[in-house]
């Protein structure tokens, strides 16, 4: 039975998914401790959480603590006394770094730093790691079967820095947990969402995954790439994290999170055009860049080059395992997720028409 004294640590408390995890945990009655790089952000983050429906009474059960994934300092204090840990924090670039290791090493070492702190604390029963569909479905020339939780991205392929960072970090996490004593050892569950969209809570920080919708609305995206792009609602993913945290059958398992329907990148502008008034969508382009032209541009543009190997590949997957094992299903369909994301950007004044 849930105790109001059960404390959950959420890493990267200022992040998009982490904020929704905090909301879901507080609504479920837990006490929450959230790590942020600087406590100077506390007031701003509390206001964002209130916009997500929390009250001052809810926030009485939330405490922010300073800890940085790049440094050991603060982590033992952050984890002390926590029963569960949601490791959500991970660097997400808005552009491909010049050196992939600038992203890969912090992702791996940060994950291991958090896991070591969890073991040292002695109180943590389970860590729920936010990995990514990037660790499952990238680097293959074709896809004869749907991707499942048994799939791993191909480490020998030419992967972008972000997919490789998620693959390396998740592999390292499983290896670390397997190296612990089997009896009474730390439990691990991973959540592997597709591209996360949903309402933005904080106008001061637009998540990297939201930039694609913002770019369509502002006219900065002149055409879509021919990419298959599953989306997941951030609120649904947060709910899955909370379920996976305590469900006995989640131990040692991976779970894909994706909104039903599947689809291509150009579904995003088509949905926006369909669901919003013309004056709000006049800058939105529904053009699709031909694959041959994308490949040519990729020779000169490193941000495009990372997608070339995935052009035209239909990455079929589902959340069937999470439904079967945990009884969790995404509440929101693909179109609703896209619309809610766009509406939040407009409401916050982040896109001016």
User: What is the average pLDDT value for the chain, to the nearest integer?
Assistant: 92
Distance in angstroms (rounded) separating the CA atoms of residues 83 and 90? 21
Q: Are 128 and 241 in contact (CB under 8 A)?
A: yes
> Residue 109: which of 83, 132, 75 has the closest Cα?
75
> Residue 87: which of 186, 182, 21 has the closest Cα?
21
Residue 279 has pLDDT above 50, yes or no: yes
Distance in angstroms (rounded) separating the CA atoms of residues 351 and 353? 7
Distance in angstroms (rounded) separating the CA atoms of residues 317 and 153? 14
pLDDT digits (tens, 9 = 90+) for 61-80: 999 999 999 999 999 999 99
pLDDT at 246: 97
Average pLDDT over residues 282-288: 94
pLDDT at 1: 43
pTM, 2 dp = 0.94
Average pLDDT over residues 234-253: 98
Distance in angstroms (rounded) separating the CA atoms of residues 298 and 217? 24
Q: Given pLDDT bands bounded at 50, 70 and 90, which one contains residue 229?
A: very high
CATH superfamily label, 7-201+230-260+315-333: NAD(P)-binding Rossmann-like Domain (3.40.50.720)
Crossing angle for the helix pair 267-275 and 334-347, nearest 10 degrees? Answer: 70
Q: Given pLDDT bands bounded at 50, 70 and 90, which one contains residue 302?
A: confident
Residue 2 has pLDDT above 60, yes or no: no
Average pLDDT over residues 169-188: 90
Task: Please compute Rg for the chain using Cα positions.
Answer: 20
pLDDT digits (tens, 9 = 90+) for 18-45: 999 999 999 999 999 999 999 998 999 9
* Upper half-sphere CA count for residue 84 (Cβ side, 13 Å): 25
How do the domains of the chain map onto residue ranges?
Answer: 7-201+230-260+315-333
Average pLDDT over residues 310-332: 94
Distance in angstroms (rounded) separating the CA atoms of residues 13 and 35? 5
Following DSSP, what letter does each residue of 157-217 receive, concatenated? S---HHHHHHHHHHHHHHHHHHTS-STTPPEEEEEEESEEE-----TT---GGGHHHHHHH
Residue 201 has pLDDT above 80, yes or no: yes
Q: Lowest mean pLDDT: which of 57-61, 117-121, 157-161, 255-259?
A: 157-161
């Amino acid at each position: 039975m849930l105790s109001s004294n059960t404390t959950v640590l959420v890493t990267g408390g200022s992040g998009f998914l982490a904020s929704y995890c905090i909301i879901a945990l507080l609504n479920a009655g837990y006490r929450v401790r959230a790590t942020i790089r600087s406590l100077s952000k506390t007031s701003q983050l509390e206001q964002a959480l209130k916009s997500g429906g929390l009250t001052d009474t809810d926030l009485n059960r939330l405490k922010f603590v300073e800890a940085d994934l790049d440094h050991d300092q603060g982590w033992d204090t952050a984890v002390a006394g926590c029963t569960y840990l949601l490791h959500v924090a991970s660097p997400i670039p808005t552009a491909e770094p010049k050196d992939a290791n600038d992203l890969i090493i912090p992702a791996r070492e940060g994950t291991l730093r958090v896991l070591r702190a969890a073991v040292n604390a002695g109180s943590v029963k389970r860590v729920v790691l936010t990995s990514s569909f990037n660790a499952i479905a990238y680097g293959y020339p074709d896809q004869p079967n749907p991707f499942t939780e048994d799939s791993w991205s191909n480490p020998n392929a030419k992967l972008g820095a972000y997919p490789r960072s998620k693959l390396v970090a998740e592999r390292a996490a499983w290896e670390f947990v397997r190296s612990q004593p089997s009896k009474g050892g730390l439990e691990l569950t991973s959540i592997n969402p597709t591209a996360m969209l949903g309402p933005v809570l904080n106008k001061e920080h637009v998540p990297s995954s939201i930039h694609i919708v913002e770019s369509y609305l502002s006219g900065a995206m002149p055409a879509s790439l021919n990419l298959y792009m599953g989306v997941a609602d951030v609120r649904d993913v947060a709910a899955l994290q909370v379920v996976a945290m305590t469900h006995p059958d989640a131990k040692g398992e991976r779970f894909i999170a994706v909104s039903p329907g599947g689809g291509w990148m150009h579904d995003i502008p088509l949905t926006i055009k369909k669901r919003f008034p013309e004056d709000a969508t006049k800058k939105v382009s529904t053009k699709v860049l031909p694959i041959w032209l994308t490949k040519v541009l990729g020779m000169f543009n490193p941000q495009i080059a990372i997608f070339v190997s995935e052009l035209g590949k239909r990455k079929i997957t589902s959340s069937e395992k999470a439904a079967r094992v945990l009884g969790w299903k995404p509440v929101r369909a693909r179109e609703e997720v896209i619309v809610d994301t766009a509406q939040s950007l407009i409401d916050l004044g982040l896109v001016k028409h």
